[in-house]
Structure 1
Amino acid sequence: MGHHLELVQHVNAPAEAVWRVLTDIPGSARTLSSISRVEILTPGDYAEGYRWRETRKMMGKEATEEMWVADMDAPTSTTVKAKSNGAAYTTRFTLAPAGDGTRLSMFFGAEMESPGAFAKVMLALFGKLAMGITRKQMARDLEEIAAKAEGRDQAAA
């Protein structure tokens, strides 16, 4: 049982510029306004197995999640995963040429790993609300990634 969403953002920059922004995990708190801090757990460059802790403010509260790169094919796609409170999260970014820019697609999925009856009821009641809030946040993230790749960084403003 789970939920997912997909979003697309046109970026007026080449895929390589978008890729640099997407994979700059140490700098992500300067790019994305909802991220307050990042702790790198795996030294080195962005690659499969790279891990970090990301603290975000959502719905007025801060939450820290450990995330890792599950798959990547630079500069066209990457998949990031996380697990928290009995849920498994998958975020996949795909970059494709689009005219003079890049089509940046994002898939986000949340799956309950072993939901009990209560969790199933709560997911049915509040899952769509939570995904609506998540959709707004992810759309803002994509806009801020585009702004950074295009050289018009808004997060620090």
Structure 2
Amino acid sequence: MEYATASRMIQAPLEDVFATIADIRNFSEAVDDIVSVEFLTEQQSGVGTRFRETRRMNGRENTTELEVTEYVFNDRIRLISVAGGTVWDTIFTVRSVENKTELRLVMDAKPQHLLAKVMIRLVRKMVNRFLQADMDAVQRYCEQVRCSKL
């Protein structure tokens, strides 16, 4: 089930946008609500990378384990996590459009039991709000912060 989508046109090179979303170290620098990242594998990028992300959500810290299950350099990255009885499947894609980069996020939610099915409906607006905020943060980072570091 397509649970949420978001997209942004970012005035930054595709390579910078991809590097921001595809490397959790960069992503966590871009998104202020991420307070820590702990790698669960030796590798720190690419397919098979697993990590634990802790972020502030509504004044509380929430920790989620994620795994990179698909990684196509400068094209897309897919992250899978299981939380609250739901498999969360998120794909970020990038593509050049004139002098900008289109960043698109599609999140699917696959509830594993009845209670999870009810819960994902109840939190849908909140999740969407967090995703939009993440996308805004990535855009700001790529357009203002990251470009100044190059």
Query: Aligning the two structures, in what range does the TM-score lie when normalised by the shorter sequence?
Result: 0.7 to 0.9
C-alpha separation in 2, matches of 1:27 and 1:73:
17
Paired letter, 1:145? V
Is 2:90 aligned against 1:134?
Answer: no
**Displacement of 1:102:** 0.5
Q: More deviation in 72-81 or 20-29?
A: 20-29
Question: Could you say which residue in structure 1 is the equivalent of 2:35?
Answer: 36
Give the % identical residues: 23
Structure (1/2) with the larger helix percentage = 2
Is 2:39 aligned against 1:46?
Answer: no
Paired letter, 1:29? S
Instruction: Indicate conservation of the 8 Å contact 2:19/2:26, yes or no.
Output: no
Paired letter, 1:132? K
**Runs of 4+ deviating beyond 4 Å:** none
The correspondence of residues 58-73 of structure 1 with structure 2, limited to 5 A, is 58-73=57-72
* Aligned-residue RMSD, C-alpha: 1.9
Instruction: Indicate conservation of the 8 Å contact 1:70/1:81, yes or no.
Output: yes
C-alpha separation in 2, matches of 1:132 and 1:28:
22
Is 2:137 aligned against 1:144?
Answer: yes
Instruction: Indicate conservation of the 8 Å contact 2:77/2:93, yes or no.
Output: yes
Paired letter, 1:10? M
1:109-154 residue CA offsets vs partner (Å, 9 max, x unmatched): 21111x13xx16x71xx5444111111111111111112222347x
The correspondence of residues 7-22 of structure 1 with structure 2, limited to 5 A, is 7-22=6-21
C-alpha separation in 2, matches of 1:127 and 1:65:
16
C-alpha separation in 1, matches of 2:80 and 2:67:
6
1:19-52 residue CA offsets vs partner (Å, 9 max, x unmatched): 1111221243321011111101122341100010
Paired letter, 1:149? C
Paired letter, 2:129? K
Secondary structure in 2 aligned to 1:26?
Answer: helix
User: Unaligned 5+ residue runs, structure 1?
Assistant: none
**Larger radius of gyration, structure 1 or 2?**
1
Count of residue pairs the alignment pairs up: 146
Instruction: Indicate conservation of the 8 Å contact 1:17/1:149, yes or no.
Output: yes
Secondary structure in 2 aligned to 1:96?
Answer: strand
